[in-house]
Structure 1
Amino acid sequence: MLTSIAVALTLLGSGVQAPQTDSLDWSTCPGDKIGMECADLRVPVNWQQPGGREITLKLGRLKATGTSEGSVLIAYGGPGAPGIAITRSGNRWAELRERMDIVTWDTRGYGEQIGGLSTGLPCTWTRIPLPGFPEDDADFGRLSDTNRGYAEACRTKDPEFFANMSSADQARDMEAIRKALGGAGLNFYGASYAGFYGQAYARLFPGQVRTMVLDGTWNHSTADWAGELEAMARSNEEAIGRFFAWCAAGKCRDVPAKWRKLVAGADRTPVPARQAGIAYDGRDLQAFAVSSARRGAEVWPKLARDIRAAAGGDASGFVPERGARYPDQSTGVTECVDWPRPAGRAELEATIARLRKVAPNAGTASTMATATLGCVGWPVGVTNPPAPLPKGLPPMLGAGAWGESDAVRRVLRQVPGSVVVRHEGPGHTLQASNPCARAHIDRYLTDRVLPAPGTRC
């Protein structure tokens, strides 16, 4: 008894909650080679009808190698991901696991097609090229009809499940997992798109958050969506600006001037990529260039060569080495219920004009204004729109490289005391690749100790 009291006092002093007994039936995961346990958790398809039909979430757990002080729930984004397989594929949680159980799950709806073990939607998705901007109202109507037809092929197989795939649905699944683990406050790490799960959870269950890490994600917690689109565009403009500054100091001083002329010309007459038998318009080229510029100096010499070649009439250098030949879009089954979409061509054109003004070199590329073109006409409305975080949340930790850290900062400035760790360089998420950031993340999740404001890794 005295030993139990001493352990409890130690945990309270460190800020870690004493673990509680969970209600899950854990057993060795199928094909396991690293000691991971799995369990099934039944949850409603539709959280608004908790007594209705249920689906199965497959959970995975790596027990703490030392004395367990609680659990950390891990999600990897995607927007859906096989958390169990990803967690088993490396040793990225070794230090955190010394004190905490590592728990993850295969997200709802994304089943066998991505290697997940939870109940999946009975759909086969492919990545398709982003549609072009509609030229008139009739063109906008055709885009709507095309998108609806694409989505209906999946929706009709399971309309109820299709309509309950938002990040808020994932957040409600997280709350069910938290309760099943014993009901202690939630410790959550969300990477990339899973950061939207975390933001939704913070809105829905603010009193249950103990610690929350948002790593390499974007801002889904704003009342000013138009302003957030502009912030995305400015971030992309900064990425190309870094590349242009590098050119100005080196051997490609001619490239910035060539770039704007190239984009303007390609919008009138797409530039052929002869090796692939296709042609790219200005928005295509901007999407590829933003992607390359974000990757840093390692790829900038090639980007300069590709721009020069395209200015000379051959855009073959922009063709991806594998996969889609055009900038593409993901399924939309989650994205299209999370993000606002244009209601009509006039609204879309006003947004395009505004973004091109704030980002003359990057334009609308790699913003949600472009990504949500595939959501026009979607048969389910936006059920989880962006919204500010509530008051009363505990201080949270963000992490990210270049533009991602800026986006996370826009989220966490709403939560007093929060800190964002920034990597001044390229990359997507920091925990797996940046030991400095990983150490701060581990200390925060265990002891609720945040790094100093302005920390860089």
Structure 2
Amino acid sequence: MLKSIAIALTLLGSGAQAPQADPLDWSTCPGDKIGMECADLRVPVDRQQAAGREITLKLGRLKATGTSEGSVLIAYGGPGGPGIAITQSGNQWAKLRERMDIVTWDTRGYGEQFGGLSTGLPCTWTRVPLPEFPEDDADFGRLSDTNRGYAEACRNKDPEFFANMSSADNARDMEAIRKALGDAKLNFYGASYAGFYGQAYARLFPGQVRTMVLDGTWNHSTADWVGELEKMAGSNEEAIGRFFDWCASGKCRDVVPAKWRKLVARADRAPIPARQAGIAYDGRDLQAFAVSSARQGAEAWPKLARDIRAAIGGDASGFVPARGARYPDQATGVTECVDWPRPAGRAELDATIARLREIAPNTGTANTLATGTLGCVGWPVRVTNPPAPLPKGLPPMLGAGAWGESDAVERVLKQVPGSVTVRHEGPGHTLHASNPCARDHIDRYLTDRVLPAAGTKC
């Protein structure tokens, strides 16, 4: 084994920063059973109007079980995942908590209807099937009008709040939390979509980062968004390629890429009925479900082979999810639509679609943000937090991820010299909660700023 790469210099001569006076009024969280304290923090709705209206962020804290050396701010993504409830539901932070206070918060706008305790935006998002790709300019216009009408129903209830729901707004909330805690610099762990919060924070407050972990997230730190979409499509193609390789080894030799592509083309012409659910799936639907199954690894592959055979026979019922939405979806809403670039017109969209289908003949645009942003066309608020490269001067950061995700995280962290990504060559989404090897590396980095060796696999 290579020796770990120790990062020299620790703040204030210790593994973390010494805590300062805490201005927050902490008390037992409602219904708490694990010793979590809660506090309210008032922050501006719009940082450009700092003297204007404020909202309340509900913070949760598990105090260190030993001598506290500072705090680590935790976010789970979603966007809108309720940090307090999620932290209360598990015990993944027990080791880190021996030395550090574990702090989380319920993100702005996602209130009671999402399980959160912070000020909520007064509307509820529902998951709907993704729109079809527009066939002409008039179709693109109709998609724009439909999306705008859907969004305006929420926007009209609170236009100011609606316009300030980006990951950058969450990053500014993180800075307010850091200041309120009295921490000299930020220690942050961001899982899944919360990695966007971390990347935004690194761009806005590079001098305030002590440690930052991006676990199972995507690259929002690029100057070439179309290029990033291409890499997403390539990752999906790689995922289903592992499945086809497994079939070719003798497990399901009749399920080959050519038959799959023929099925997808047939479904695009006439959706394949899923008789048990009374619905039908087009080619993009089948591709989305197949990518999701392929990413689950060998345990899911036999069923995927059976489902493909049945769909070729005329019944796509095997692809119907056991519960929840009957169509594949990438729900778009008030955060996603101000974080992700959207196509300005049909010509731009068509060019992107053609390129992704060229790169990924078996998976096409499915499960990429080229499809996810269809719900953002016509959005009444501009993209306020567009992707952009990270600045120079950031301290070395730690990434983590399973198949595909580790590659995306690595594309972020290659911009920060000395950074390392821990890889799990297998299925999964985020590593800290489920992979003890990765958890040990993450906890050590957050406390002592010690990174594992480059190329570490867990």
What TM-score range do you get, normalising by the shorter chain?
over 0.9
Secondary structure of 1:129's partner? coil
Q: Which runs of 4+ in 1 moved over 2 A?
A: 9-15
Aligned residue number for residue 250 of structure 2:
250
Looking at structure 1, the residues matched to 36 and 271 of structure 2 have their Cα atoms a distance apart, in angstroms, of 52
Measured against aligned partners, the alpha-carbon deviations of 1:337-394 in whole angstroms (never above 9, x if no partner) come to 0000011111000000000000000100000000000000111110000000000000
Aligned residue number for residue 104 of structure 1:
104
Looking at structure 2, the residues matched to 336 and 228 of structure 1 have their Cα atoms a distance apart, in angstroms, of 17
Asked whether the 8 Å contact 1:213–1:398 carries over to 2, the reply is: yes
Aligned residue number for residue 179 of structure 2:
179
Name the % identity. Answer: 90
Looking at structure 1, the residues matched to 128 and 356 of structure 2 have their Cα atoms a distance apart, in angstroms, of 24
Cα offset for 1:16? Answer: 1.4
Is 1:137–2:137 an aligned residue pair?
yes
Looking at structure 1, the residues matched to 321 and 32 of structure 2 have their Cα atoms a distance apart, in angstroms, of 35
Looking at structure 1, the residues matched to 354 and 372 of structure 2 have their Cα atoms a distance apart, in angstroms, of 16
Asked whether the 8 Å contact 1:273–1:279 carries over to 2, the reply is: yes
RMSD: 1.1
Cα offset for 1:183? Answer: 3.6
Secondary structure of 1:169's partner? helix
Measured against aligned partners, the alpha-carbon deviations of 1:416-448 in whole angstroms (never above 9, x if no partner) come to 000000001000000000000000000000000
Looking at structure 1, the residues matched to 73 and 291 of structure 2 have their Cα atoms a distance apart, in angstroms, of 33
Looking at structure 2, the residues matched to 146 and 255 of structure 1 have their Cα atoms a distance apart, in angstroms, of 39
Moved more, 423-432 or 273-282: 273-282
Alignment of 1:303-322 (within 5 A): 303-322=304-323
Is 1:363–2:403 an aligned residue pair?
no
Cα offset for 1:330? Answer: 1.7
Cα offset for 1:137? Answer: 0.8
Looking at structure 1, the residues matched to 233 and 18 of structure 2 have their Cα atoms a distance apart, in angstroms, of 45
Asked whether the 8 Å contact 2:240–2:291 carries over to 1, the reply is: yes
Is 1:340–2:337 an aligned residue pair?
no
Asked whether the 8 Å contact 1:233–1:367 carries over to 2, the reply is: yes
Alignment of 1:200-349 (within 5 A): 200-256=200-256, 257-349=258-350
Measured against aligned partners, the alpha-carbon deviations of 1:132-191 in whole angstroms (never above 9, x if no partner) come to 101111111111111111111111000000000000000000000000001411000000
Secondary structure of 1:402's partner? coil
Is 1:161–2:166 an aligned residue pair?
no
Is 1:392–2:393 an aligned residue pair?
yes
Cα offset for 1:10? Answer: 9.6
Is 1:375–2:376 an aligned residue pair?
yes
Asked whether the 8 Å contact 2:17–2:183 carries over to 1, the reply is: no
Moved more, 263-272 or 354-363: 263-272
Unaligned runs of 5+ in 1: 1-8
Change in CA separation of 1:357 and 1:10 when aligned onto 2, cut-off 3 Å: closer
Change in CA separation of 1:387 and 1:280 when aligned onto 2, cut-off 3 Å: same
Looking at structure 1, the residues matched to 73 and 224 of structure 2 have their Cα atoms a distance apart, in angstroms, of 30
Residue 158 of structure 1 aligns with an amino acid whose one-letter code is D
- How many residues are paired up? 449
Looking at structure 2, the residues matched to 357 and 222 of structure 1 have their Cα atoms a distance apart, in angstroms, of 22
Cα offset for 1:287? Answer: 0.4
Measured against aligned partners, the alpha-carbon deviations of 1:211-260 in whole angstroms (never above 9, x if no partner) come to 00000000000001111000000000000000001000023112123201
Asked whether the 8 Å contact 2:69–2:100 carries over to 1, the reply is: yes
Looking at structure 1, the residues matched to 127 and 226 of structure 2 have their Cα atoms a distance apart, in angstroms, of 27
Asked whether the 8 Å contact 2:18–2:183 carries over to 1, the reply is: no
Residue 175 of structure 1 aligns with an amino acid whose one-letter code is E
Cα offset for 1:331? Answer: 4.0
Secondary structure of 2:263's partner? helix
Is 1:433–2:434 an aligned residue pair?
yes
Change in CA separation of 1:449 and 1:130 when aligned onto 2, cut-off 3 Å: same
Aligned residue number for residue 6 of structure 2:
none
Residue 369 of structure 1 aligns with an amino acid whose one-letter code is A
TM-score (normalizing by structure 2): 0.97
Residue 407 of structure 1 aligns with an amino acid whose one-letter code is A
Residue 220 of structure 2 aligns with an amino acid whose one-letter code is H
Change in CA separation of 1:65 and 1:11 when aligned onto 2, cut-off 3 Å: farther
Aligned residue number for residue 26 of structure 1:
26
Looking at structure 1, the residues matched to 150 and 37 of structure 2 have their Cα atoms a distance apart, in angstroms, of 38
Residue 284 of structure 1 aligns with an amino acid whose one-letter code is D
Secondary structure of 1:34's partner? coil
Residue 321 of structure 1 aligns with an amino acid whose one-letter code is A
Aligned residue number for residue 4 of structure 1:
none
Asked whether the 8 Å contact 1:266–1:280 carries over to 2, the reply is: yes
TM-score (normalizing by structure 1): 0.97
Secondary structure of 2:47's partner? coil
Looking at structure 2, the residues matched to 172 and 98 of structure 1 have their Cα atoms a distance apart, in angstroms, of 28
